[in-house]
Structure 1
Amino acid sequence: MTADAAIHVQGLEKSYKDLHVLKGVDFDVARGSIFALLGSNGAGKTTVVRILSTLLKPDAGIASIAGFDVTAQAQKVRETVSLTGQFAAVDEVLTGRENLILIAKLRHQKDPGGIADALLARFSLTDAGSRRVGTYSGGMRRRLDIAMSLIGSPSVIFLDEPTTGLDPAARNEVWDAVRELASGGTTVLLTTQYLEEAEQLANQIAILHKGTIIVDGTLAELKQLLPPAKVEYVEKQPSLEDVFFALTGEEDATEHETAGDPEKDAAATGKEGR
C-alpha cells in the first residue's frame, strides 16, 4: 500500500452461493484522483463498490479507505465515503434546494441552507434550485444527486455507472461534475461500461474481467500494450476500446450494455454479509 493511497484493495474475494464473482482483486487509488474500474456486466464492479462502501462483507482479502478497514472499522469508513448508484436518488416532488437541505439536516450539518446554496452554485444549478426536481433533465438530476452525496464532505466518492441511460449531452454534464470533484481534492472511484467515459475522466484505469484485475495503469500505459495499427500507411494508435476487447476477448460492446447483469441478479438473491 502506497502512503498516498486513498483506497487499498488486496486479495479481495466474494461469492454468491456458487457464483464466484471476485477471485482476488488488487488495486490502489491515489488521493484526489479519478480511478475508473472497467468491466462488462457481471465482471464484479458493483460487488467491489458494495464491499468498499460497507454494504457487503468480503469472503477474503483486505480493503481499506483512508486507512480504515472496511470490515473492522465500518463506521469510520461510512463517515469517509459517499456512494452514488446508477439511478439518481432524489425526491422529484421537492425542489433541488429542498433536497439538499433535507440531506444536510439528516446528516446533522450546521447551516443546511448555506450548504444547499453553495452546492447549487458549485454544480451550476442555482437558477434551477427553486424548481421541482421532477422538471429537471437527466443530467441535472445526476448533478444534483452527486451534489447531495458531497454533504458532509466525504473524502472518497463512489460513482457506480453514473451515466447509465443518459443522453450524450447529459453525460457531458455529469463528466464536468466529476472533474469538478477531483479538482477539489475528492477521490473518485468510477465504475463504467463506457470506455469513452474512462478515457475522458480517469487518471488511472483498471479492467476487471472474470473476477480479477487483468490490467491497471494510466491510459497511455494501457495503450502501449497493443502495437499501433497501420491505416493507409499511417500509424493509428490503439484506443482504450481496442485494448479492452483485446484483453478480455469481448467483441460486441453493445451486447454488454443491454444484457442482464448476472452479478447484480446474484446480489439480489444472495444478500449474505449485508
Structure 2
Amino acid sequence: MRLANLRGRLVVVAGAMAVDVAEASEGRFSADPQAVFAEWDAFRAWSASLDWSASLALARGKPFAVEELGPPVPRPPQVFAIGINYAAHASEAGYPPESAPVTFTKFPGCLAGPVCEVELPSGTVDWEVEMVVAVSRDTVRVRREDAWDHVAGITLGQDLSERTSQLAGAKPQFSLAKSFPNFGPTGPWLVTPDEFDDPSDLAISCALSGETVQSARTSAMIYDVPELLVRLSRVCRLFPGDLVFTGTPSGVGNARSPKRFIRPGEELVSELEGVGRLTQRFVAATADG
C-alpha cells in the first residue's frame, strides 16, 4: 500500500489514482495524514479488507499530480537522522568504518513534499539522499527480530545540509544546519514494507543538474533499519509517526575535491527503488531572507 498526503488529506495511491481514506472509510479514519499512525493496526486491518486494485481506484479514485503532494508524514513527533551509515561515506567524511552512528535531528519545520523550491541560504548547501522509515507504534527496547513490525512504511528523503553553519563553532551544529525551510523533502508517498521483495536492499541515487552524484544500495548500510531501531529505542521511546532518516551513501559535495555545492537554478532529482522520485529546484536567497 502507498499512502500519500494530497493537499493535506490522507490518500491511498492506487495506480495513477488517489483514494481519499476519510471518504472511503466513511469517516472511520481521519483525513489528517498524521492521525493514521495513532490507529495504525486498525487502519491496516481495515485496508486489508479492501481491494486496492484498479477497480477501486476507478470507482472512488481521483487523478492527481505529484506536485500536489505534501510530505507523507507531515508532523512527526520526532525526527531522528543518522550520519555515517555507509562505509564509503564514512571514509570520505574521515570517520573510521566501525564508528557508532552519528545521531541528530532535523526539526519538523524543514519537511516538504516531493516537489518543491528550495531557497539557498548560502553558497555551501549540500545534498544527502536517504531512505526514510516511519514508525508504526510505541517502541521501547525493541528486539531486532521484531523491528520491521514497528515500521509503518518507507519513503525517500533528502537531508539537505548547509555546511558553513554545520561546521561553525567548537562542535558541529548538525540539526540547525539541516533544518532550513524545505531542507527535508520527503515522499512522494509512504510504501508499506510488504510491497518490497527485500526492504533492506533498494537502489538509491540522486543527480544534480543531470549528473549522478550518489548511487548505492541500502544493503550497504553499516547499521540496517532493525539495528537502528534497536539502538534508538534503547535510549528513546519512539512514537507512532516518528521518522528516521537512515543515512546517506558516498558522493556528497563537501567531500569532493574541489568541493561542489548546489547553485541557484540547479535541479536535484533523487530516486529510491520501489518508492519513487523527489525533485527540488534551487533559487538564490531573497534580499530579506
TM-score range, shorter chain: under 0.3
TM-score, length of structure 1 as denominator length: 0.23
Higher helix fraction (1 or 2): 1
